[in-house]
Amino acid sequence: MSELAIADTVEAALVIAHVHGRVAPIDSLLRTERARGTVVKLRRGLYARRELWLGLTPTQRYQAFVIGVARGGQFLPVLSHESAAVLHGLPRIEPWPRDVHELVERGSGGRSAPGRQRHAVGIDDVDVICRDGLYLTSIERTVVDVAATSSTFSAVAAIDAALHVDRFGRASAMTTTAELLRAWERMLPFRGSARARELIEFGDGRSGSVNESNSRVTMAQLGLPVPELQRSWQIDGADYDSDFYFAGADAIGEADGKAKYTDPVLLAGRAPADVVYAEKLREDALRRRTSAFARWDYAVGMSLSRLGARLAEVGVLPTERPRLRATR
């Protein structure tokens, strides 16, 4: 990855009044801007331009906060955990935290402060990168930290995203399972190591969305048979892929959400009605080839009872003990 996953508008929104512990020249101008209500105070010495800030997504706001805190301190920290994850462009299921996470050396005595969470777990130079003037943990170290500390849903979503290879060739994987496990070994011993390894080995780069990752977690916790991901089908001369295929029940499962029909990025210039119609034709074709077809949205994919019932309707039933522990 050559660049951080940061939109230009994120940094444009920031006004940093204190840089490396010193008052910046723009500080005197903030009194006027604050009086006019054109800036929003994020923390001492860190502000955002209101108009741009209001246009940012929650993820972009956390990116801006992390960048502002990092660049406004006396020293550039090594950003880690969720703070590194948001800059790498990894997804998160729960809301982003309010603190900036940093790594410090073991026994350094560094203490957490308001808005800054310091982790005294040691730093290996191979696990630190410098991008766009910021220091942060590598994608491998970041994923392992997230796997050890986040909820199962967030951890698997991040792991799957880091391993994902776009089937249309538009993007390559950020890392590999082997590289994640090498980072895991370098970090030993650390709290949550067994859980982190379990989730890394569960990760699958074929998962095409957060909804699919969440659904995989729920299926594993239900003890459902392991589905084939992104199976390709050729029907009437056309090629189709299915999110999940359960061979034992000859059933297809599709994890879709509203965004597929409303998000401008996913629409890619197409009219929503055209996307709905194309999806209808696709579903009709897949139904003709298999015995059963089930579709669910984001909320169902995260519910043990609802997804279990939805898949039971098409003959997909638990066949083994749960493969993942309950989400925390």
Q: What is the pLDDT of residues 196-214, one digit of tens each?
A: 999 999 999 999 999 999 9
Instruction: Tell me the mean pLDDT in the region 223-246.
Output: 94
Residues paired with residue 49 on neighbouring β-strands, in sequence order: 39
What does the pLDDT look like over 36-65, one tens digit per residue? 778 888 888 888 889 999 999 999 999 999
Give the pLDDT confidence score for residue 106 in this predicted structure.
75
Q: Which domain holds residue 15?
A: 1-73
- Split into its structural domains, the chain has a count of 2
Residue 134 included in any domain: no
Residue 189: is its pLDDT beyond 60? yes
Residue 72: is its pLDDT beyond 50? yes
pLDDT band at residue 1 using 50, 70 and 90 as cut-offs: very low
pLDDT band at residue 2 using 50, 70 and 90 as cut-offs: very low
What does the pLDDT look like over 95-116, one tens digit per residue? 999 999 999 887 665 566 778 8
pLDDT band at residue 89 using 50, 70 and 90 as cut-offs: very high
Residue type, 190: F
pTM, rounded to two decimals:
0.90
13 with 48: CB under 8 angstroms?
A: yes
Tell me the CATH number at 274.
3.40.960
Q: What is the Cα–Cα distance from 177 to 196, expressed in whole angstroms?
A: 12
Q: What is the Cα–Cα distance from 314 to 328, expressed in whole angstroms?
A: 29
Residue 323: is its pLDDT beyond 90? no
The average confidence (pLDDT) of the chain is 88
Q: What is the DSSP string of 59-113?
A: HHHHHHHHHHHHHHSSS--EE-HHHHHHHHT---SSPPPSSEEEEE-TT-----B
Instruction: Tell me the mean pLDDT in the region 170-197.
Output: 92
Give the pLDDT confidence score for residue 328 in this predicted structure.
55
Nearby residues of 263 by Cβ (< 8 Å), 6 or more positions away = none
Residue 128 included in any domain: no
Among 41, 73, 105, give the residue marking a domain's end: 73
Residue 151 included in any domain: no
Place of tokens 């940094």: 11
Give the pLDDT confidence score for residue 98 in this predicted structure.
92
Residue 260 included in any domain: yes
Residue 203 included in any domain: no
